[in-house]
Structure 1
């Protein structure tokens, strides 16, 4: 073998080794991001609990915010669950999410295709509960405004699509971009048929603000540790490190056989 060929193979091996190191570093950063996002959302809960304790006895926020107007088709106790999928489905997934929560976005990115596949097939129904943890922990009003806008989208029969758009366009956690109704209306343009005068009025008037407060209160009363809280068959599958979209799909298919 010529010196030139040996040098070429050595260089190729070095490039391959470098690429492997880069991939390892990228995977480490990805794991760190997921863990960090989960911790931040849990810390947000602790901050909210502190705020609630500090304001104990200060009156019912839902009363001061006006009458509670649940979005169309809301289910469950106090009408705080927004349903997606056929109600005849034998398997139910309950999801508590905050549109500003990074860990919620990580969950959505990983599980969205599987959830859509199962709901479209009539095997799964999902009940979404909207939470405002990050507003309490980081400050701002983006979680609440986004939740109200999502409830307005439910009125228009477009919740699932708008829900996905909000997570796909989630700002950095420290950026309270969703506090701007203009941004929420802009994103509505990505959902066919959603950006209507009725939707705009609902968003700008904060029609469901008090309902959002009630939804968050239900989360607190539930004693959950953070967002996302994803409950299936009585347990929080988001906390199960062995859970994957494929495993979840098998669990749903098994539930439909029973």
Structure 2
């Protein structure tokens, strides 16, 4: 091999090595660029994930920090108490998730009835149909107070909840119309169990004198839906907000307590059975229809 040929071959090898080194450098540069892009993408993904998690946490915290609306006024015991002249006992609204407060005990000789009711419950309707006159007699004579606790426990809870919300609206906005509204719902139950429309509930309220726009708006907007759910859960879990009872919780509707004693009839539609239970729970000196007090100048009737 001549010197010139050897020089040419060395130059060719050097050129190939240089070309190879350049290609290697380019590959390394490209690899570094890919790694950098991956790192940036990874960091960006992590950052986006962190931002998303923070956003979710913020929403959860904000949502949980927003308390449910207060319950209806005049139902601080998770029920509204009706006394003489069909007048409701007034109480402030129950704060969200607050523990219901039992009302003070009645004075001697005045029976305390507590009734937990689902307005679409057929047994509740049967009880009301049979005992409406007795309940009215107890109120009109001043012999008893009746505390009504609307709840929603049926499988068709949407309809039950709407009715219970409507009852809470009347209790809050027109409490002295509650007794009549409660009776009208239970004696006008739809036979198919589908419940009532908002318009029908508003019409019922108007029929008993609760005709304000505040009542209508409360019904259509479901102001107390959350309260109905909470009150139902409290009733089912117990303890009941009632002094002097051994009944731990509501097991079904109607749940009727007379001076804390549970009414468990053989026939829910038998008015005589209910009257006898009231007399037994109230004591020997109690009468369902006490004689009216004599007017001034009149003598009390002599005992026979």
TM value normalised by structure 1: 0.64
Q: Deviations over 1:170-220 (max 9, x none)?
A: 112x43232x211211222321x3122111111111111111112101221
Taking the aligned partners of 1:203 and 1:255, their CA distance within structure 2 comes to 44
- Tell me how far apart the structure 2 counterparts of residues 210 and 255 of structure 1 sit (CA, whole Å): 43
Deviations 1:128-156, CA, capped at 9 Å, x for gaps: 1112111xx2x351111111111111121
Structure 2 CA distance for partners of 1:65 and 1:251, relative to 1, 3 Å: farther
Distance 1:71 1:181 in 2: 18
Q: Which has the larger radius of gyration?
A: 2
Name the residue aligned to 2:181. 162
Contact 1:153 1:159 in 2 (8 A): yes
**1:176–1:233 CA distance, 2 compared to 1 (3 A):** same
Q: Secondary structure at the match of 2:113?
A: strand
Change beyond 3 A, Cα 1:256–1:202: farther
The reply to whether residue 119 of structure 1 matches residue 139 of structure 2 is yes
Displaced runs of 4 or more, over 4 A: 63-66, 86-89, 240-243
| Distance in 2 between residues matched to 1:182 and 1:255, nearest whole Å | 47
Q: Partners of 2:284 and 2:218 in 1: how far apart?
A: 38
Q: Do structure 1's residue 133 and structure 2's residue 162 form an aligned pair?
A: no
Per the alignment, residue 71 of structure 1 pairs with: 72
Higher relative contact order (CA 8 A, sep 6+): 1
Of the three residues 92, 97, 121, the one matched with 1:101 is 121
Rounded Cα–Cα distance in structure 1 between residues aligned with 2:203 and 2:65: 29
Give the 5 Å matches for 1:233-248.
233-239=259-265, 244-248=273-277
Q: Which runs of 5+ in 1 are unaligned?
A: 1-58
Mapped partners of 1:256, 1:143: distance in 2: 39
Gaps of 5+ in 2: 1-59, 90-105, 239-248, 287-304
SS at match of 1:194: coil
Aligned to 1:50: none
- Report how many aligned residue pairs link the two structures: 187
Q: Greater shift after overlay, 116-125 or 182-191? A: 182-191
Structure 1 residue 252: deviation in Å?
6.2
- The answer for the alignment partner of 2:195 in structure 1 is 177
Task: Give the CA RMSD over aligned residues.
Answer: 2.7
Q: For residues 108-130 of structure 1, what are the alpha-carbon distances to aligned partners after superposition, in whole Å with 9 as ceiling and x for unaligned? A: 11111111111121111111111
Distance 2:166 2:179 in 1: 12
Counterpart Cα distance in 2 of 1:184 and 1:64: 33
Q: Which residue in the other structure is 1:200 paired with?
A: 216
| 2:280 is aligned with 1:251 | yes
Which has more helix, going by share of residues? 1
